[in-house]
Amino acid sequence: SQNYVRMKHRDCEQVGIASIQVELPGDTTAAQLEDAIRGLNEDPACTGYIVQLPIPRHLDENWALSLIDPAKDADGLHPINLGRLVLNEPATLPCTPRGIVELLRRHGVELNGAEVVVVGRGITVGRPLGLILTRRSENATVTLCHTGTRDLAAHTRRADVVVAAAGVPGMITADLIREGAVLVDVGVSRVEGKTVGDLAPDVWDKAAWVTPNPGGVGPMTRAMLLSNVVDRAEALHGR
């Protein structure tokens, strides 16, 4: 997570965005976290920010996200912004789902009418991605699976696109996909000191397109964060 934060600061510097960081200790109290977030809400020099997840387990993640000023929510995870996504109204979109859709578009992957299986039900990727993909602008048919799905293969083997975001290393193997499928790996796990995704190595010989992990969706997530920050700044300044 700390390395990811460093990369975000570097990205901001490269495009001319002034970035700040409020770092709190691991034993931070709820009151201290609330004070830090409210300070950013009230700071006119701050036009957009995120709460870097995950936060310590003794703190309520959803509660922390709800404290963010929705107008400064650069991650698109405030309940109001997620609610607007559900209602199909304009809102700041969560960075990783937005990055996945942009990645597929840029590589000419047809989403209109496509069968897309999303494996993972988390609030940062799985749930919002399903909502984005079923908008009329994307028009995909989405099946949301997870670690409790009884027969995962029955869903993934018919999919044109599989997005793996369950956080289970090597969960999606070649026998679970059809020939020529498009695979997007969003899972992040540490195995023997290395970052690995949810796709097994054998999928590369069977799929038409595969995003590497690391180095695939991560850079797109950071790019969408920068885009959201610019959008928030322009909105706050009435542009």
* Residue 144: how many other CB atoms lie within 10 Å: 17
Q: Catalytic site residue 75? A: yes
Q: Catalytic site residue 8? A: yes
Catalytic residue among 69, 72, 73, 75: 75
Catalytic residue among 8, 69, 160, 185: 8
CB 230 within 8 A of CB 217: no
Ramachandran angles phi, psi of 230, nearest 5°:
-65, -45
CB 75 within 8 A of CB 94: yes
Catalytic residue among 11, 52, 206, 231: 52
Burial class (CB in 10 A: 0-12, 13-18, 19+), 17: middle
Q: Catalytic site residue 206? A: no
3-state SS string over 120-183?
CCCCCCHHHHHHHHCCCCCCCEEEEECCCCCCHHHHHCCCCEEEECCCCCCCECHHHCCCCCEE
Q: How far apart are CA 181 and CA 203, in angstroms?
A: 10
The residues carrying an active-site annotation are 8, 52, 75
